[in-house]
Homo-oligomer: A and B are copies of this chain.
Amino acid sequence: MRDNIIDFPAVTRSCGDCEWSDCCVNCGLGSAKHTASDAGRSVAHRSGSPLFRQGDPLDCLYFLRSGSAKTIISTRAGAEQIVTFHFPGDVIGFDGITSGRHQSSTIMLESSGVCCIPLAKLKSVSINNTNLWDEVIRTVAVEIAEKQNYGLLLGQKSVHARFATFLCYLSGKYASRGCSGREFNLSMSRQDIANYLSMAVETLSRLIGDFQHKGVIEVDRRFVRITDVGALKEMAQEDHEAHASCG
C-alpha cells in the first residue's frame, strides 16, 4: 500500500524556481545567468549529517529544497530538545541572526537538498524587492506562529492531545506540499517524535497502540495512515482537564 505515497522528493523545489532565487548563491539568478551545471552547487546532505551546529558562526540562512531535517537545542546540562521539524520550502536559521551565531543545531533526517542564502545578499536584494520582502516577512511570521503553537502544545496538552496534534501537523505539512495528508511515511524516528513532543518513547509507543486500537490511525513502522481525520482533530483539541473516555 505504500506504493501510492508521494514522498517529498517528488515535490522537491527545483533550483531557481523558488521565491528566494534572487538571493540564492546556488542558482545565482540574482546576479547573472548560470548554466545548468551550476544548479549542482546546491549542496546535498546525507541523513544524519549536520547542516550547522549550535554556536557556529552564522552568515547565511538555508533553504530546504528536498528532504527533511530537525532543529535541536542543547542545554549546558546536556539535555537536548528537538524544537522544529523542517520540510521542503522551509527557511532555516533565523534564530541566530541577532547574535551572529546559530542558537541551535540542524540535522538532516534523510538525504536532502539545501540552498544557501547569504544574509548580506538577502538584505541587499530584499531592499528594493517587494516580492522578496513579502516572502521574508511571511516566512518569519509563519515560524513565529508555529513556535507559539508549539508552546501551547507542550504547556497545555496531554500526551494524547500532543500526539494527535503532531499527526494533524504532519498531515497539514504534507497536504500543503501536494502530498497526501491521509497517508505518509515518517521521516523521523520514534525517539525524535517523543523528544519533540516531550514524552518518553515508551509513552509514544503506547499512544500509537492506543490510537490504532481506537481505529483512528494505522501504523506500520514509519508508514502512517489516518483513518479517522475527524476523531484525530478532536483528540488534538483536548487538554489536560478534558480526557475522552473511550470504551
- Hey, which chain B residues are within 8 Å of A97, CB to CB? 137-138, 141
A128 to B129, CA, bound (A): 9
In the bound complex, do residue A141 and residue B94 qualify as a contact, i.e. CB atoms below 8 Å apart? yes
A97 to B140, CA, bound (A): 9
Question: A176 contacts the other chain (Cβ, under 8 Å)?
Answer: no
- What class of interface size applies to chain A in its complex with B? 35 or more
Question: A148 contacts the other chain (Cβ, under 8 Å)?
Answer: yes
> Interface digits, A155-166 against B, CB 8 Å rule (1 contact, 0 not)?
111000000000
Question: A142 contacts the other chain (Cβ, under 8 Å)?
Answer: yes
Question: A96 contacts the other chain (Cβ, under 8 Å)?
Answer: yes
8 further A-B pairs in the complex, CB-CB below 8 A; given A95-B148, A98-B142: A73-B149, A81-B155, A97-B138, A98-B138, A99-B145, A103-B149, A123-B133, A127-B128
* Chain A residues proximal to chain B, CB less than 8 Å: 73, 75-81, 83-84, 94-99, 103-104, 123, 126-130, 133-134, 136-138, 140-145, 147-152, 154-157, 198, 237-242
